[in-house]
A = this chain, B = another copy of it.
């Protein structure tokens, strides 16, 4: 009887934060050499969107030769249901996606922007890899929520990332008050994101409903030429002339 093939390694491969932005930033601004090298060596991928995965590999190929030409790369998309609802809550079985891994191939996991499985789907794939006894290795790259937190000057020793706020206006106000209470009473910085075209609506709600002394950070276009991070008390934001939030990927944070 032959021994079963040991599984390959699941590599978590970060991508730049310029998805959908112009102009694109150089990959070497945000990805270390070791991350680029690993991305160039892989030939099997799980991603949110095959087209953007190929666009990423094209950019990698400008720096290093790929182990297999683009048309021979095996690229599998996460199901669309997972994009919307997230994949941590169970109900999604990622094991079939891991077939190449179980056959001994190394496998790359990528998202549209930043670190896969953080503020993005992918955690079900990582979980299934652990359950299969595969090695999981995260590579270094940009993570917008962490860059925003560091640059906010808010408490980075106790913080929560809570994803998106509700879209319904009344629900959103309720949630804003909840988050403010957590930030002020427990000193836990609350970090959240919004889809760029809803930035303005969220921002108006924040300025209207937060207390004047609460500190509010807004970090837009991180790692891009047009990057901008400001953190001020709400009272100062209300008087500021530069307060409009651009239609760029933006991270928000509330702190004491």
Residues of A in contact with B (beta carbons under 8 Å apart): 12, 26, 28-34, 86, 88-89, 115-130, 136-138, 140-143, 146-163, 187-188, 222-223, 227, 229-232, 255-256
Contact = CB atoms under 8 A, between A and B. Distances in A.
A157 B122 CA distance: 10
A161 B26 CA distance: 31
A158 B179 CA distance: 13
A161 B227 CA distance: 25
A91 to B, nearest CB: 13
Contacts of A256: 88
Contacts of A115: 146-147, 150, 156
A227 B140 CA distance: 13
A215 to B, nearest CB: 8
A178 to B, nearest CB: 12
A13 to B, nearest CB: 10
Contacts of A155: 86, 88-89, 123
Contacts of A124: 153
Contacts of A123: 152-157
Contacts of A141: 140
Contacts of A121: 157
Contact of A30 (B32, B118, B231): B32
A35 to B, nearest CB: 8
Contacts of A28: 32-34
Given A117-B153, A143-B143, 11 more contacts: A28-B32, A29-B33, A30-B140, A88-B187, A88-B255, A89-B155, A119-B156, A126-B231, A136-B151, A137-B151, A138-B150
**10 closest Cβ pairs, A-B complex:** A127-B153, A126-B153, A88-B155, A160-B160, A29-B34, A118-B156, A28-B33, A138-B147, A138-B151, A140-B142
A209 to B, nearest CB: 22
